[in-house]
Structure 1
Amino acid sequence: MSAQPGWGSCDETDDAHHTLRRAPRPVLDTNPTAVHSALVPPGTLHQRVTAALAHWRLDDAEELLAGVEGELSPYAAPAPRDGSPDEEPAEEPADLGRAWADTLHAELLVRRLRQAGFTLVGDPVEPPHGTGSPPALDLHAGVAELIDGDGPGDDGDLRAECAARAALAIALVRSARAAFDATADDLQRAAGLARHARIELLSRRVDAAMDEAVEAASLLDPGLPASLLLVDTLSTLAGVLADLELMPLALDYQRRAHETAVQAAATPGALDAADGEADVLVARTATRLGELCAELGEGLLDDGVPESAGPHFAEARGLAEQALALLPPESAEAVVAAQVVHGWALVGLGEHTAAAGPLRAAVRATATSGDRDLLAAALLALGRALRRQGDGAGADEQLAGALAIATEHGLSRLRRAALRELCTLHSELDDAGRALPYLQAYLADELDRVDERRTRWVELFGRRKSLLETERAAGQLRRQAYEDPLTHLPNRRYAEARLDGLLSSGAAPALAVVDVDRFKTINDAVGHPGGDAVLRRVAELLVAGVRDTDEVCRWAGDEFVILLPETTAEQAERALERTRRAVAAHDWAGLGVGLPVTISVGIASATRGDDRRTLFAAADGVLYDAKRRGRDRVVRLSAVTQTRAGASPLDALFGPPRAAAAAVTDEPAGDDTALVGAPEKVPAAVSVPAVQPSPLDDPTGDPGGFAPLLVDPPLGLGGPTDPPLAPAPPASSGPAEPARTTAPAPALPFRDVPSEPDVIWGTGRTTEQVLALVREARRQFPDRPAVVVRATAETLVALASEHDAYTTVDAAAMSAAVGPLPEAVGRVAVLSGNGGDTSVAAEAAFVARITGTEVVRVDDLGGTRIRGLLADPAALQDVDCLVVVAGLDASLAGLVAALTDVPIVAVPTSTGQPGSFGGFSALITMLNSASPGVVVSNIDNGHAAGVFAARIARRTRSGTAPGRGVVR
């Protein structure tokens, strides 16, 4: 059985299969310094192959691609790797040359399949007149032949040959898609996806084409610079959208392509081409835009609204005339395309006679050029002109030719237009017998483009494009959340999460804390821009001095941390010592810094059972050892579990205050403000005890200061020496007895007064006011958090952005805490009635957690849903205090109180029916409860309830209050 013309012989097919398995050959470059190969757009070879495929010159395309057979078959197994150090690395999966080679080979195969009457997935293409369809291809047989290398011979079955090509095309499409997904070049990826959408349309897989088009559109950011590749991608996407019957969207993208071409032509270096080539690019995009305008106008004419069609035809005429004015005579193909659009626009405007002559010339020119798309368009436009002039025979000949070419090459829009014109022509000639088949074929095609489906596609396109853009924006926000904007290193939030992950996985990392010595002095000397430059350069030197597996992060200010997985402190010390010398020897004068720049480093290695706080406190402690010993040095500590004197400015989060460390030397703790060159007070040998002694432990006598007050309460404050209370002496009419003069006891602090968070109410305050109050609270009380309640979403986002990792946000509670959180002591349960009470319950739970307790929530206990709690009162066990939040179900507090002797804080809410009088009804119900052990907060005050419950829980667990509750 002979091969179909244009398909290639069976022997050639078999050779092609084996060719795909040969060793790679380099792809020809456009020029020796090109970044991408000529096969990657907008390379010259890519443009030539694309033009050959678009014009259905498939043998030419195959010959051009024969020179780039450097890509392995997706079925070929990779060569085994011996793992030797001299072995070259494997090819990157994101290689664009491989992706485009696969894409163009796949499109060639799909177009050959289409000529043979099959789609990519092996389904037969329906013939236009219902003459019957062959069965679908068996693609499994094609896969077996590719793997075995046994292609069909001269007497082979054409169906088996088609199946083999279809199977190979599917594999190439998947391989190319994976490579495009892996590339970081969004524009190249969008270009590939648009091309894949074209392949799916050729295979009549509309849904897959829509998916590819949506993703490609989402990658084409409006801020992309004008370039030839961007113009080509926008034009390709516009053509795909037009074939998907999304004409308004297609018009928008082609208009953007034309505007981008004009911008690129006016920008020096944007196209890297001669002026004439820039003019040709602008002319081509104008022609394509004019074609879409004319097509839209033709549709409006068919719908019977010629007054709306006129402006579209006028725009098409203007664009075609603009293109003809720009095109040089040697660009014959582009000139003919512009003439076809110009003639079509004239026909639409009613100037049939003026259009007929140029259109006949265009048909003659395209008949020999091999551009089947352009020939079909020219025949269709000429047929329209002749039909409207009254030349029925001439119109029938031209329109029949356009229909045949459009059907053969899968040009659905041209085919549908030719069918409609032929049906209209023979209806006007009263030839119903010839009009009926065209009408039936046209109606069959119309079933694929009814208004409901088109509307659904438009909505789907917009929705999925928006979703992808949102996902990419969220990914960008996630990257920003973990990246320091000054140095572009990972930030503190990332470092904490990464260190937690390493420790929880059982790894034994080393942690280095790096501080730039006397950075404030540097900042004062060279200004903040100079200081920023110093930090960036230090960051670069730190990254250059560590392994690829180590991670350098900016912690805060002039502090950095380095995570060194599976590294001992000794190994880390050697690496950081090299980095320290590199920083000290660096030429800082190039940055305008006349002061020496050095770093101090503290290193600790983790041992089993250490957590992030322990490890950081240890490394930070030895960092301050390095600073006390004179700076510009590396100090390590292996035994992390030891408690050390001296800590960092971050001990508000991770450990005790720095006062002890400051007392070791005459220099204030952490003071980097001393002038460079000033003598430092450094003892000859600094000894830091493992645990600083407490004055309360002095057995020799009175420790002095406030220590006695912290041991025994003074007289009058409930101490053991307080006299018993006695009744006041009776009144006497006689002279008063001289009163015994006793000096009043001084106002002294109580023991164990909790350092609870400061509360800032967001109600009635702007975001700027809340931020200012939080800053002031953090300045006055750096050791405790500032709590913001009843804040707007905008305020919560602003707090998280300004304070970064120090912020704990609860959107349901409309609350945030800025600062270090206390260790959880005790346990509080928060119960709520119906769904309307959730926000107040969330506020109470959040505040209790921030105040320093563990919190559990049980929601939606209103009405009959309380039965679950009655049947299994597990939520009331193992807690130190209960918070019951209810509005309509205000009796819930009394009911719960009857089940347990755990203290209860009842919070009435204003949610419910109008008869609740803004929560007053719930308040009265709770106050009148006969159950003991219940205190009632004011209406909607989840904050006060959370603080009160946390106090009870903390004192219960610390042993200063009665024991735990027991469920009855």
Structure 2
Amino acid sequence: MRLRRVRALEGPVGQEGPVDAPVRDTPRTPGHSALVPPGLLHQQVSSALSNWQLDTAETLLREIDGDLPPAPVDDRPAPPLTSLARAWADTLRAELLVRRLRRAGYSLLGDPLVEGGPEQEGPLDLHGPVGAPGEAVDRDSRSESATHAALAISLVRSARAAFDAQDDDLQRAAGLARHARIELLSRRVDAAMDEAVEAASLLDPALPPSPLLVHTLSSLAAVLADLELMPLALDYQRRAADVTAEAIGAAATDAEAGSVDALAGEAATRLAALCAEVGEGLLDDGGADAAAPHFAEARDLAVRALGQLPPGVPGMLDAQVVHGWALVGLGEHAAARSVLTSVVSTAESAEDRALLASAELGLGRALRRSGDPRAADDHLATALASATEHGLPRLRRAALRELCTLHAELDDAARALPYLQAYLADELDRVDERRTRWVELFGRRKSLLETERAAGQLRRQAYEDPLTHLPNRRYAEARLDGLLSAGGVPALAVVDVDRFKAINDAAGHPTGDAVLRAVGQLLVDGCRDTDEVCRWAGDEFVILLPDTTSEQAERAMERIRRSIAAHDWSALGVEVPVRISVGIAQAARGDDRRTLFAAADGVLYDAKRAGRDRVVRLSGVTQTRATDPDRTTIDGQVAEAPPATDPAAGETLGDAPASPSADQMTAAPLTADHAEQPEDPTGGFAPLLVEPAAAEPVVEATDEERAARTGSPRDELPGGPSARAGSRLEPAEPTAPVLDPSASSAPVVDLPALAIGPDVIWGTGRTTEQVLALVREARREHPQHPAVVVRASADTLVALATEHDAYTTMDAAAMSAAVGPVPEPVGRVGVLCASSGDTPIAAEAAFVARVTGTEVVRVDDVGGSRIRPLLADRSLLTDVDCLVVVAGLDAALASVVSGLTEVPVVAVPTSAGQGASSFGGFSALLTMLNSAAPGVVVSNIDNGWSAGVFAARIARRTATA
């Protein structure tokens, strides 16, 4: 889309009545793109509205709405409006109706507006009937105005709802800025403030340069200037000028550079006008020295704009007016008069009302200050009349002040007094106290909205995979827990892309990423609306299929497998075949998330060992694998011979090597004392997940399998490629190590514990860039371990998630993040929080324990008399390996808890006590240190980090002892 500024008509601006059909941008895009700013049609309607050419604006909008036949373009009919274009059409029509109401003397809500309109007998009845034939003319006028007001309100609401539904924050901000303008036309200052605040909160500083961004920033600056928030208006207009400077530097061709130059010229003109206006305000208040720099900047900007704007465009007149204003402020009256006289004559013929009022005001100033008050009076009176008629409050106040000063200098008090009274009446609406309050309110509201938006972004990042935009592992775990706890019996499919490393090596990592995105989309396309596809880690996906049997899931996944195999992958530049292996298990009563995933994961590796590119399910009828007295050996492992058919499905599984027997699978202990779980007569996968036989050695998993378990890139795994290809499945949960390696009757397993790695990175007192730099350094030095950041700002957490994508584990409540592979959980830590004031430290301890490699259970607000849940359900205190008790005011909670359990307790004092009596947490620390309760260790004040690490170490060692 070319960047052009065009007035409403090809002929003289201001002509009312029918016009030729509007010219749209080329090339044409669906949905009347020219109606959306900064499109040509949008500029035409906006120019007509700003110049109060309401009939012209209505003609253009009628053509858009289909009341007139659309203009043919390239012999193609006009397409229907998109939701965004419709929102802009409604917005522009609403502004048209509000301007008609303003001309009739009413606001958007039907309230009388005395200034600039006729005297009114009272507010409009927006719910009354339209005037019937034969009624008085004034009654018909009131009825028509009431109809206009009701329709305008409806259009404003529908447009606002359409903007709210847009995913494009920049378009939403542009719409809000325009709606703020509508509210200002109706004198609804508070509503305009709300719209402006929300628009400002949507303008992310990281947005790339674009014509729409410049348009939105300039529109918002104009609204803020009308709200008398001139410092804020200057800030946003300066940002618009900076954006155009960036765009000029990025222009690839001379044509692009010329278009951006024109845009930069308009932005510079608007900034120069604001600078000159600020300078006039300071000059009127007696601050000539303070005003001079503003006038000098306005002059330089205007000269630059005149050099950037193409000859003959209407924007040249705007730049000349601002140039004249700046020259007046600098005392160069003769030069200013020459420039402004030329503009006045041109603007009169063009009938540009706002431009003419500005030029007349500047010329009147130049004449008064150069000693020609009589000539100045005529120009200033013309400026006042035009500003009053067309609702230009800032120009009106400036003209009133100039006229009052002029007649005071002529000692004509009789004429000066009315101007003074009108000026003071206007000033009552903009006293400094109110302006200060608005500035503070603007800042607070904007900060609140930005915080809410950052929190929402953190929530999205917490549960969304940034590469595929599918739900991530964190979401899958939470969703699966919810389905199982609600009594559901979902099926779970674990999907792995076969030989994905070969695809990456052959085509490169960018192509590998594209393959993962395509596989994710094919999985989604093949599933029902009720199914949920999530990216688990690396090249592994999981699919949650609620209320689905394993047989139904197998049929669905087989269709998906065939669709992926038949997909044309050459379009992505992939020559290596893309295939998937799938393992399916169905939940039964007694299963939890870990056991269900372990079962599905086990049969996935059956599919891989059987040759890949296949779907294998665990029987949903028997919940067991068929046994056979004949055994075969796979990679040194004792395994069962494969049955000829799956008894549940009735289909042959092929000549694949058999799955390992049930007694070869392991899982985390299922009871508090880690004793062997007795067989559950109700079924479920838990009986299958027993300790391995002591005589059977455990073989190290392949790099591909380990990467899938940890979620880390294969390149970051220690040890290089696996020593043997096709080695058997690594257990889903770490196997307990043997403390005495010489004991030949038990296996020796490397526990994937978090070794000594980088120190914690504290976000307190550090900028986002400093934290990012420390994280990069930690990842280089310790690629196998996560870099843990605690007490970071929301901006820092967002930056971490953006830079490190899927390798960031984040907790918004703890304001913490871990960048890098997180070990599989071993053991269990309970975190108890005494009161809501202690929640941030409790969240920090829980997060650190989790990323150190343990499962975490949190119970909040159990201090004082609220300890009943712990007394009613002792499992909260006994089914864990270590407890962390976080307390400030109720520091005795740690001692009470230690008397209810034999589990070790880590007490964390906090500074959240009431008033000075807490001594910044020192009182709680002394209470905990002086406790005689056994089994309690005390951390230092507010240190959730060390408590979480210590508790995780205890839990991991206890669980594997």
Task: Give the alignment's TM-score, normalised by structure 1.
Answer: 0.69
Change over 3 Å in CA distance of 1:56–1:176 after alignment to 2: same
Residue matched to 1:552: 533
Equivalent of 1:215 in 176, 198, 204: 198
Deviations 1:602-640 (A, max 9, x none): 233456775544443343233233234332222234517
Residue matched to 1:33: 28
**1:415 offset after TM fit, Å?**
0.8
Residue matched to 1:388: 369
Residue matched to 2:228: 245
Deviations 1:914-944 (A, max 9, x none): 99999997688545xxxxx855646769679
Equivalent of 2:639 in 664, 670, 686: 664
Contact 1:513–1:562 under 8 Å retained in 2:
yes
Contact 2:904–2:935 under 8 Å retained in 1:
yes
* Residue 289 in structure 1 maps to residue 285 in structure 2: no
Residue matched to 1:299: 281
**1:374 offset after TM fit, Å?**
1.5
**1:542 offset after TM fit, Å?**
3.5
Change over 3 Å in CA distance of 1:944–1:791 after alignment to 2: closer
**1:175 offset after TM fit, Å?**
0.8
Listed as ranges, the matches of 1:428-447 within 5 Å are 428-447=409-428
3-state SS of 1:126 partner = coil
**1:103 offset after TM fit, Å?**
0.8
* Residue 108 in structure 1 maps to residue 103 in structure 2: no
Listed as ranges, the matches of 1:512-591 within 5 Å are 512-520=493-501, 531-532=512-513, 534-546=515-527, 550-565=531-546, 567-585=548-566
Distance 2:591 2:146 in 1: 62
Equivalent of 1:600 in 574, 581, 587: 581
Deviations 1:681-731 (A, max 9, x none): 99677477667799999xxxxx999699xxxxxxxxxxxxxxxxxxxxxxx
**1:338 offset after TM fit, Å?**
3.2
Distance 1:345 1:416 in 2: 18
Listed as ranges, the matches of 1:167-182 within 5 Å are 167-182=150-165
* Residue 49 in structure 1 maps to residue 45 in structure 2: yes
**1:109 offset after TM fit, Å?**
0.6
Distance 2:789 2:266 in 1: 59
**1:52 offset after TM fit, Å?**
0.8
Distance 1:696 1:895 in 2: 31
Distance 1:935 1:63 in 2: 83
**1:173 offset after TM fit, Å?**
0.8
Tell me how large the CA RMSD over aligned residues is: 5.7
Distance 1:645 1:493 in 2: 33
* Residue 317 in structure 1 maps to residue 305 in structure 2: no
**1:493 offset after TM fit, Å?**
1.9
Contact 1:152–1:160 under 8 Å retained in 2:
no
Equivalent of 1:308 in 290, 306, 317: 290
Q: Percent identity at matched positions?
A: 58
Distance 2:856 2:453 in 1: 38
3-state SS of 1:664 partner = strand
3-state SS of 1:356 partner = helix
**Residue type of the partner of 1:163?**
A
3-state SS of 2:541 partner = strand
Distance 1:252 1:809 in 2: 31
**1:435 offset after TM fit, Å?**
1.9
Contact 2:813–2:843 under 8 Å retained in 1:
no
Distance 1:287 1:482 in 2: 46
Structure 2: runs of 5+ lacking an equivalent = 1-20, 69-78, 628-632, 643-652, 667-675, 679-690, 697-739, 762-773, 911-916, 941-945
Residue matched to 1:140: 127
Residue matched to 2:61: 65
Residue matched to 2:453: 472
3-state SS of 1:121 partner = coil
**1:482 offset after TM fit, Å?**
3.0
Listed as ranges, the matches of 1:150-299 within 5 Å are 156-261=139-244, 264=247, 275=258, 280-299=262-281
Distance 2:808 2:64 in 1: 52
Change over 3 Å in CA distance of 1:852–1:538 after alignment to 2: closer
Change over 3 Å in CA distance of 1:389–1:875 after alignment to 2: same
Per mean C-alpha deviation after superposition, the further-off stretch among 232-241 and 510-519 is 510-519
**Residue type of the partner of 2:52?**
W
Change over 3 Å in CA distance of 1:182–1:832 after alignment to 2: closer
**Residue type of the partner of 2:387?**
A
How many pairs does the alignment contain? 815
Listed as ranges, the matches of 1:522-921 within 5 Å are 531-532=512-513, 534-546=515-527, 550-565=531-546, 567-585=548-566, 595-606=576-587, 611-637=592-618, 639=620, 642-644=623-625, 663-664=638-639, 686=658, 811=814, 819-821=823-825, 876=871, 879=874
Change over 3 Å in CA distance of 1:809–1:290 after alignment to 2: closer
Deviations 1:416-439 (A, max 9, x none): 111111111222122222222222
Equivalent of 1:97 in 70, 85, 93: 85
**Residue type of the partner of 1:451?**
D
Contact 2:116–2:389 under 8 Å retained in 1:
no
Residue matched to 2:647: none
Distance 2:551 2:203 in 1: 50
Contact 1:496–1:612 under 8 Å retained in 2:
yes
3-state SS of 1:139 partner = coil
Deviations 1:751-800 (A, max 9, x none): 9x9x999798999766879989998799xxxxxxxxx9997669997999
Deviations 1:65-84 (A, max 9, x none): 22122499xxxxxxxxxxxx
Contact 1:853–1:950 under 8 Å retained in 2:
no
Larger gyration radius, structure 1 or structure 2: 1
3-state SS of 1:552 partner = strand
* Residue 494 in structure 1 maps to residue 478 in structure 2: no
Residue matched to 1:378: 359
Distance 2:854 2:822 in 1: 12
Equivalent of 1:126 in 94, 107, 114: 114
Distance 1:595 1:682 in 2: 25
**1:387 offset after TM fit, Å?**
1.9
Distance 2:249 2:516 in 1: 41
Residue matched to 1:713: none
**Residue type of the partner of 2:302?**
A
Change over 3 Å in CA distance of 1:536–1:843 after alignment to 2: closer
**1:516 offset after TM fit, Å?**
2.5
Distance 1:915 1:356 in 2: 68
Contact 1:834–1:859 under 8 Å retained in 2:
no
Contact 1:843–1:942 under 8 Å retained in 2:
yes
Distance 1:294 1:916 in 2: 55
Distance 1:692 1:134 in 2: 91
Contact 1:197–1:240 under 8 Å retained in 2:
yes
**Residue type of the partner of 2:29?**
A
Task: Give the alignment's TM-score, normalised by structure 2.
Answer: 0.70
Change over 3 Å in CA distance of 1:453–1:490 after alignment to 2: same
Listed as ranges, the matches of 1:926-941 within 5 Å are 926-927=931-932, 934=934, 937=937
**Residue type of the partner of 2:98?**
V
**1:461 offset after TM fit, Å?**
2.7
Deviations 1:832-863 (A, max 9, x none): 799899969996999799978977566665xx
Residue matched to 2:324: 343
3-state SS of 1:601 partner = strand
3-state SS of 1:484 partner = coil
